[in-house]
Structure 1
């Protein structure tokens, strides 16, 4: 049985005279799985996500989603960036409604699109701020709108590029919990780029660890042996959480100590 999302022998080179950013990246992701990708800066994490999003063509290899090759951006892959990327002249409601109109303009009536927009505002707990503009809400609230807009597209895959990286610790924790709840409710397939080891262990089913760039590839893949739903307070002393955290830290530490270390 083929994977829902498959990255096959992916290679990315921006300059023929320089080594490739990524080489021979192979990864299979099941439907509904939550994958975290982690590695040192410059290893090509966001580059890989951009290829899956269709924002960047592969130099060699490619990506197949639900049986179709990824060649360009599409509503079946919604991206949430670290920068919220909202349109500042539109309200929170209008930022989500814009995506709904683009994707479902012909499939839904005007009333249905309004209801679906409100449903996704409610899903990210932002109905109270529907008429505010991005400049009138906090960073965490902006990211909620970005996530709500992505989910409103009903994507097959949700792509998160360090979505909480610019937030304070408390807001980050709240949004992590909300993403866990949304994933449990919808069963959406998620691929997340992160630098945060605890975040990767808390949220994901598997952690994909990339070797150092250039010429980065998959070094190890760790299955996170934690049942869902997950409680961050209970996990703080759970030996399975601590063991998984230590495994990722050890991988990253070895790569930092020896940047030339290749994949096993």
Structure 2
């Protein structure tokens, strides 16, 4: 049985003037359908570049990315991205921001009434239906991210890509949104890939954690399986041995990589 998503020996370099920067080197990874995978590593290790390659926002220099056996080489609605910056259009309401994506993807496939119901369904998923008529300036940062997630989910993506989606939020809002994402993943069974700098977040949310070596020419150093049953309770996990063991493994990897950086300076 072939992998749902296969990242097959990819390299990525960027050229500027006469110089080339080798960002990723020989990255290979397989992700199963419905799996939640986090990518973690120090700044400059190519995490966002890897996510952008899966999204089709930039093309690989070598190797291939295959989704259900088809090569990824351009953006598509089957791979929706939620960025750290919510990127909502400020002149549109919450409803209109989500409807924009729905109309683009489902024009000719769903009637106007069906598209309306689908927008409201996805706003309900992120508990934002009550704010459908508000504009982005009238809602909080956490609420904006909820709308961004609703807009991405409304495209019915095969893979939801999360680029540090909670990085700009306060701790309490971040925790609430983590719980919301866990609930959505449990209800919908989406395949999710998330970039994060937060070790606790990675362990809490993920089935597997991909740990990147330092750049340039970064590659996958380790892949850690998180053998914690779902649903997960963040309070109970605080003293859970499996959680603590996973957390320790990621911290040890990152600490060792930081020592390599210091030794090179």
Same-fold call, TM cutoff 0.5: yes
Contact 1:212/1:260, CA 8 A, preserved across alignment: no
- Quote the Cα distance in structure 2 between the aligned partners of 1:245 and 1:155: 30
- Quote the Cα distance in structure 1 between the aligned partners of 2:176 and 2:21: 40
- Quote the Cα distance in structure 2 between the aligned partners of 1:37 and 1:187: 19
Residues 15-74 of structure 1, C-alpha deviations (whole Å, 9 max, x = no match): 273441000000000000000000000000000000000000101112100111001000
Decide which of 234, 237, 240 is 1:238's aligned counterpart. 240
Q: Does 1:215 align with 2:217?
A: yes
Residues 132-160 of structure 1, C-alpha deviations (whole Å, 9 max, x = no match): 00010000000000000000000000000
Q: For 1:224-235, what aligned pairs fall within 5 Å after superposition?
A: 224-235=226-237
- Quote the Cα distance in structure 2 between the aligned partners of 1:19 and 1:219: 20
Residues 205-248 of structure 1, C-alpha deviations (whole Å, 9 max, x = no match): 00000000001000000000100000000000001100100000
Q: For 1:188-199, what aligned pairs fall within 5 Å after superposition?
A: 188-199=190-201
Equivalent in the alignment of 1:105: 107
Question: CA offset at residue 260 of structure 1?
Answer: 8.9
Equivalent in the alignment of 1:247: 249
- Quote the Cα distance in structure 2 between the aligned partners of 1:232 and 1:260: 34
Equivalent in the alignment of 1:148: 150
Q: For 1:57-206, what aligned pairs fall within 5 Å after superposition?
A: 57-206=59-208
After the TM superposition, which parts of structure 1 deviate over 2 Å for at least 4 consecutive aligned residues? 15-19
Q: Secondary structure at the match of 2:261?
A: coil
Q: Secondary structure at the match of 1:215?
A: coil
Contact 1:211/1:255, CA 8 A, preserved across alignment: yes
State the aligned residue count.
261
Question: CA offset at residue 259 of structure 1?
Answer: 2.9
- Quote the Cα distance in structure 2 between the aligned partners of 1:166 and 1:94: 24
Question: CA offset at residue 172 of structure 1?
Answer: 0.2
Moved more, 173-182 or 10-19: 10-19
- Quote the Cα distance in structure 2 between the aligned partners of 1:43 and 1:147: 25
Aligned-residue CA RMSD in angstroms? Answer: 1.1
Q: Could you state the TM-score of these two structures normalised by the residue count of structure 1? A: 0.97
Question: CA offset at residue 97 of structure 1?
Answer: 0.4
Equivalent in the alignment of 1:11: 11
- Quote the Cα distance in structure 2 between the aligned partners of 1:183 and 1:20: 34
Q: Secondary structure at the match of 1:216?
A: coil
Q: Secondary structure at the match of 1:112?
A: helix
Q: Does 1:51 align with 2:16?
A: no
Unaligned segments of structure 1, at least 5 residues: none
Unaligned segments of structure 2, at least 5 residues: none
- Quote the Cα distance in structure 2 between the aligned partners of 1:47 and 1:121: 29
